């Protein structure tokens, strides 16, 4: 028996094993890609600052309406407490828990509305410098705010991922001199 005939069955055996491993890996990759959950999408529909012309942040009211879309076909989402933060030039104006935990079914959209007022704003804003900047920006016709929504979530009915994930959606919400969201930003998606 020659050396070449002895290695031929070995080569055939390893070829079969590697082919089987390749196809099993390919099937697992396709299953993972088709079943992995997608993060929810946040969109701003309304944001306004009432009392922007009054004196101080304590009298202002920040009102927003945001939609949350779960685009997964078979995977529900369970959210923890949703926290809202509003910033002006990177400085916090108000931070507050907005909603307790809630669940979202697959292929659904939830609308979240909330009003941030008074003590929560004053405590986060601190000094009057922030208010002076807002008044100055208002005089130019545009005040830049950032709305940030933070929560942790867990995907339901999936075998791939059962741990909690932190989600942070940051929305640019500039308002005009009247305190209403500028038209070009209505319906915009908030990057995570």
Q: Residue 7 belongs to what H/E stretch?
A: helix 3-35
Task: Give the strand pairing for 102-104 and 76-79.
Answer: antiparallel
* HSE of 17, CA atoms in CB hemisphere, 13 A: 6
The DSSP symbol for 52 reads T
Q: Where are the beta strands (DSSP E) in the chain?
A: 41-50, 61-70, 76-79, 82-88, 91-99, 102-104, 108-117, 142-143, 146-156, 165-172, 175-176, 189-190
pLDDT of residue 47: 95
Q: What does the block give as tokens for 61?
A: 């009211």
N residues, the chain: 192
State how far the alpha carbon of 25 is from the alpha carbons of 21, 28, 33, 76, in Å.
Answer: 6, 5, 12, 27
pLDDT of residue 19: 94
Band the pLDDT of 159: cuts 50, 70, 90: low
Q: What is the mean pLDDT of residues 121-140?
A: 71
pTM of the model: 0.77
Mean pLDDT of the chain: 84
pLDDT of residue 6: 57
pLDDT of residue 2: 52
Q: How many degrees, rounded to 5, is the angle at CA 97 between CA 155 and CA 110?
A: 50
Decide if pLDDT at 125 tops 70. no
Q: What does the block give as tokens for 125?
A: 């804003």
Range among 14-18, 55-59, 95-99, 138-142 rated most confident: 14-18
Decide if pLDDT at 124 tops 60. no
């Amino acid at each position: 028996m020659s050396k070449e005939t002895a290695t031929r069955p070995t080569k055939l055996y390893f070829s079969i094993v590697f082919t089987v491993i390749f196809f099993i890996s390919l099937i697992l990759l396709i299953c993972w890609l088709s079943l992995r959950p997608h993060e929810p999408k946040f969109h701003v529909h309304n944001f306004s600052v009432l009392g922007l012309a009054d004196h101080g942040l304590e009298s202002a009211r920040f009102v927003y309406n945001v939609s949350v879309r779960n685009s997964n076909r078979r995977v529900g989402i369970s959210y923890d407490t949703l926290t809202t933060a509003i910033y002006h030039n990177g400085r916090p104006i108000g931070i507050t828990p907005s909603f307790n935990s809630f669940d979202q079914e697959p292929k659904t959209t939830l609308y979240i509305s909330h009003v941030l007022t008074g003590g929560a704003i004053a405590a986060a804003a601190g000094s009057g410098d922030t208010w002076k900047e807002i008044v100055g920006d208002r005089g130019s016709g545009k005040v830049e705010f950032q709305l940030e929504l933070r929560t942790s979530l867990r995907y339901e009915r999936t075998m791939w991922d059962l741990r909690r994930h932190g989600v942070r959606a940051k929305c640019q919400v500039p308002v005009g001199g009247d305190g209403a969201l500028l038209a070009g930003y209505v319906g915009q998606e908030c990057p995570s």
